[in-house]
A and B are shown apart, each in its own frame.
Chain A
Amino acid sequence: MPPRRAVPPRRFLFLPAPQIAALCRSGARALRRAPETMNDIGIEIGADDVDVDAVVARIQKAVDEKIAAGVYADARLAAAERTNLAQLKNDEQFAGFYLRCLRDAVYVDISDFEIRERRARFAPFLVRLKKGIWSLLKFYTYRLWSQQNQVNGLLVTGLESVDEKYAEKIRALEARVAELEKRLGAASSPPAEKGG
């Protein structure tokens, strides 16, 4: 299968550097995941008998493996799921999946970037103009986004810590319940019959 199209970066020349970097990252990610298409799951079907339960089970297994491998750790997914949160919150893997998406999106790239011009005519002039505009905006933009990065990072770290804390608490409670059930079972089991 040919590699899929990445978002053409030249359309975003007038965007701030962080957005360009984010778009390039997502484009690169799309290219990286290109070989992992549905056909790799290799669903065998007969012409007149499709077992959709089996098809869905197979898809879900393959998708779960891909999620675990980080294939879907993509900020665009977190955005796409904004109206599906009520359904997803019951999914055991939801918190981990969503947090991975957030972690991937949390730091806005504020490093500098190459300014180019796709129009040949007046290109040197336009490049100089853009560089001039960017040099005026850079100070304010860096200051703003570095603070935003700090807030984003703290929020995700906080969420991860809450998630880990409660996961640990639940594990401890489950172990305790299992222990209590074991003891209760031992105490209430009828005495073994004698003889025989």
Chain B
Amino acid sequence: MKILIVDDSAFMRTILKNIILKSKYSDAELDEAVDGNDALKKFDQMQPDVMLLDIIMPGKDGIEVLKEIGSSAKAIAIISSVDQKEIIEEAKSLGARGYLVKPYDATEVIAMIDTLA
């Protein structure tokens, strides 16, 4: 399985990587993107099975990323501090198959990947 983690916070990417590496998905191929533009580039290169995508990022945000690749991606889950209903609905209408609001725990992240895999 290939998982792409998109978050402008290096530490949040580290946390998510650690959660995945300690789970049943420890053999997954992982890559990271630091912002929206990097996410689009890495998406093209990697063609991930699962993308964990933050919403609030400098430059191109998660919603804009979804507008570009939401319909072609296999499975995208939003992992964000944003919990406004309108944004969640917009993300889902653009192709996000799951939405996890911070603060999340390891169990929730793995359960999310389970539903997307």
The reply to whether chain A is a binding partner of chain B is: no
- List B residues at the A interface (Cβ < 8 Å): none
- List A residues at the B interface (Cβ < 8 Å): none
